[in-house]
Amino acid sequence: MTASSRGSKAAALLMRSSRQTHPRVCADCTTLISRPSQRSYSTAAAEASPTPLDVPSTPLVPPVTSTAPNAAHDYSIHSGILLSRPPLLTKPPTPFEESFYFYQKRLNERLTMPFTRYFYFKKDTPALLDWKLKARERSWQPARELGGYNPYSEDAWNDELLVGDKLSATTEMVETIVQEGVPRAVEKGKGSSGEDLKDAMQRPLSRITDADRRGDETRLDRKLNRTLYLCVKREKSGWGFPAGVLEGKENLRDAAERILTQTAGLNMNTWIIGHAPAGHHIISPYYNEQKLERPGVKTFFMRARIMAGQANLKDNLFGLSEFKWLTKQEVEKHVAPRYFSAVRNMMHDR
């Protein structure tokens, strides 16, 4: 008789004796405890489990040591810097966007209240005379760059731009506003004329800078509507982002600040964004007959912004010879294909 069956019978006898003295104990509880089938799993487990004497003796296995290539200690950890200059101008509008904005401006002009000229100009003044001369040419419409349109004329239905019309182009609208700014009514005796004032009119700055015309890739005032990234050239490995090995107990952010200073000097006001890397690049170690010849490199890139200043490679500690501020598409032409495949998702398309 097993231990579990003896325990079940003892519990059943105990419940029977307790029911005689304690009538509150129900018959279901007595039947459940005394039923041997409910604890058959305990019996099976007791029979299947080996006793301590049946455990075979196993020899001690020595710990496994990693002798295969690509072990973790065969890599050195580097911190890289993805230093960028954000766009300073909005991107140029497409022809569809120019047409859409022009339509919205004309619609707003039609729905606005009439222009009260006497609120802005005094009566019988050169300013009012100048406004009348210019407003008569555009059919008394307040908007200067939208062209003349008279809703009460015979051509009131003809309010659409024709194919090829440059009236909605940004350059054409800017030129119209500049011409509208030249005064035509000048007070007598002031010694100036409309032609003199036309030459003195201030025009908006061009989106194309001198650095773009010269093709100078070391200037920060190029590609004003794009994001630029600092790339440096090493004598052995070629073009890439600034990077260096971690020293002591440095983390990635502290190492990035030190490496950026040792690379491009102190003449820059920069800001490291966050404490987590934006991506990484791995160079596998080189083995010769299971012997490590050249350790691998794991570079983790930290994002950074430049607010002012310029890079200066004089007395740098990494043997850098050149630097450039490049867009994402220009970086692809300078670095190796495998390097660009690792860093391309960290850069902005614009």
CATH code where residue 286 lies: 3.90.79.10
Q: Tell me, yes or no, whether 17 lies in a domain.
A: yes
Q: Tell me, yes or no, whether 99 lies in a domain.
A: yes
Same domain, 156 and 288: no
Same domain, 214 and 306: yes
**Domain limits at 31?**
3-53
- Domain stop point among 199, 227, 253: 199
pLDDT category at 30 given cuts 50, 70, 90 is: low
Closest C-alpha to 105, from 117, 123, 116, 93: 93
Q: Tell me, yes or no, whether 204 lies in a domain.
A: no
Domains: count for the chain: 3
Same domain, 251 and 133: no
What pLDDT, in 10s, does the model give residues 246-273? 998 999 999 999 999 999 988 999 999 9
The SS3 call for residue 197 is helix
Same domain, 217 and 310: yes
Q: Tell me, yes or no, whether 48 lies in a domain.
A: yes
- Domain stop point among 151, 175, 199: 199
Lowest mean pLDDT among 19-33, 72-86, 223-237, 317-331: 19-33
Same domain, 248 and 303: yes
pLDDT on residue 58: 47
Average of pLDDT values for 55-76?
Answer: 55
Same domain, 142 and 217: no
Q: Tell me, yes or no, whether 195 lies in a domain.
A: yes
Same domain, 102 and 153: yes
Q: Tell me, yes or no, whether 62 lies in a domain.
A: no
DSSP H or E stretch at residue 46: helix 40-48
248 vs 69: which has the higher pLDDT:
248
**Residues 6 or more apart whose Cβ sits within 8 Å of residue 150:** 139, 140, 156
pLDDT on residue 117: 81
Tokens of 158: 């003809």
Same domain, 144 and 265: no
Closest C-alpha to 236, from 278, 279, 280, 283: 283
Q: Tell me, yes or no, whether 268 lies in a domain.
A: yes
Confidence check: pLDDT of 68 > 60: no
Highest mean pLDDT among 94-98, 254-258, 285-289: 254-258
Q: How far is CA 158 from the centre of its chain?
A: 46
What pLDDT, in 10s, does the model give residues 271-285? 999 999 999 999 888
Tokens of 152: 């009460």
Same domain, 132 and 145: yes
pLDDT on residue 211: 94
Q: What is the pTM of this model?
A: 0.69
- Domain stop point among 199, 224, 247: 199
Strands (E) located in the chain: 75-85, 228-234, 238-240, 243-245, 268-272, 279-283, 286-288, 291-294, 296-309, 320-326
Q: Tell me, yes or no, whether 239 lies in a domain.
A: yes
pLDDT category at 34 given cuts 50, 70, 90 is: low
CB atoms within 10 A of CB 209: 15
- For CA atoms 308, 310, 316, 318, give the dihedral sign: positive
The single-letter DSSP state of residue 210 is: H
